[in-house]
Amino acid sequence: MTRILSVVGARPNFMKVAPIVDALREFPDIDHRLIHSGQHYDEKLSRNFFADLSLPAPDLNLEVGSASHAVQTAEVMKRMEPVLLDYQPQIVVVVGDVNSTLAAALTAVKLGIEVAHVEAGLRSFDDSMPEEINRRLTDALSTLLFVSEQSGVENLRHEGVPSEKIHFVGNVMIDSLLKHRELAAKSTIFKQLGIARDGGTSASYGVLTLHRPSNVDDPRVLQCILKAVATIARELPVFFPLHPRTRKNIEGFGLARFLSEPGQGSCGGIVPLDPLGYLDFLALHDAARLVLTDSGGIQEEATVLGVPCLTLRENTERPATVECGTNQIVGADPERILAAARSALKNSARSTRRPPLWDGKAAPRIVAILREHLQAK
């Protein structure tokens, strides 16, 4: 029996691992275990996503919770080591770039267990981002590097990674999106928010997400972004699912004046929402006129959905989303945000371009390579 262990920690990981879990189920000779580090422990950031994605309950939740980067990484390693010693997997599959990704990879390699990294090779070239450090180190530790876009292949080659380790397989996030898009369209989120739809592709509202420390931990930067979005929201409501950290900082910095009162979505303004489940957010995103975000995964989803996306950062590790025309990098400068938003809102046509292999079949490619690699050992 082939033993494979996958590790997830934060909610972007859930969308990435779900199609891999589905593909592994096709092979009765594979014993697969799913470990949740508990890095995201809030029910709305974790448990709801397992239900929406039909993910089985994890075999174990390490329940590490929130802490500094160093403490959180160390806690995952401490709690992961006995799990690996007990189960003895042939390979550990890690996804994305969160602290749990690096911690699990480092723990496995120190025990002589191979690591496969899904979403390898992405680079923002901004070492002030914790995720960039996690990406680089995880790639350096991994035996199999599963790449979602061509830039990842080029980055890894430039770093001297042997070609036999690099596998361009496509984007597992898009596997989840394409599988669930039709089901998400039946969401009741539109009724809940009082959003009128005319049967067209999009409705007259925008979506905002913010969670990166560079945007939400600096009161000046956060105020600049909210001020610009509030101006856009005079023309159409902007729905803002709030990460707990972001909500706490908005309140602590005295910036709640930029938000509308709950229940006033049809009247415009920035409308604060609790975190949404995967299906509700996908439905809201799919029908939006515009999305503003600092999330890499949402940049990818917007590319496939054809929704204009303004990235509130000065860089992206996913250049394919820019090359396909849906994503613009605008940073936190209000003038750049407003100019890009007004330009995007003037054009109602949706892009239909997709990067290569963003076709919903990345997970079966990954599992085929995993099986071939393990059988050859």
Residue type, 299: Q
What does DSSP assign to residue 171?
Answer: -
Residue type, 65: G
Paired residues of 327 in beta bridges:
309
Which run of H or of E encompasses 239? strand 238-241
32 included as an active-site residue: no
Number of alpha carbons in the 13 Å side-chain half-sphere of residue 353: 12
Residue type, 58: P
Q: How many CB atoms lie within 10 A of CB 149?
A: 26
Residue 193 CA to its chain's centroid (Å): 24
* Under 8 Å between Cβ of 37 and 9: yes
Pairing mode, strands 144-147 and 270-273: unpaired
CA dihedral 56, 300, 168, 52 (to 10 degrees): 10
Number of alpha carbons in the 13 Å side-chain half-sphere of residue 284: 29
Cα–Cα separations (whole angstroms), residue 8 to 70, 104, 209, 253, 296 = 18, 9, 21, 32, 17
* Active-site residue, selected from the candidate residues 32, 180, 211, 243: 211
As to burial, measured by CB atoms within 10 angstroms (0-12 exposed, 13-18 middle, 19+ buried), residue 1 is: exposed
Two tokens at 3? 């033993």
Cα–Cα separations (whole angstroms), residue 96 to 123, 190, 287, 330 = 12, 30, 26, 24
**Sheet strands (E) in 134-189:** 144-147, 166-168
Listed in sequence order, the residues at least 6 apart from 319 whose beta carbon sits closer than 8 Å to its beta carbon are 149, 151
The size of the chain, in residues, is 377
For the annotated catalytic residues, the residue numbers are 211
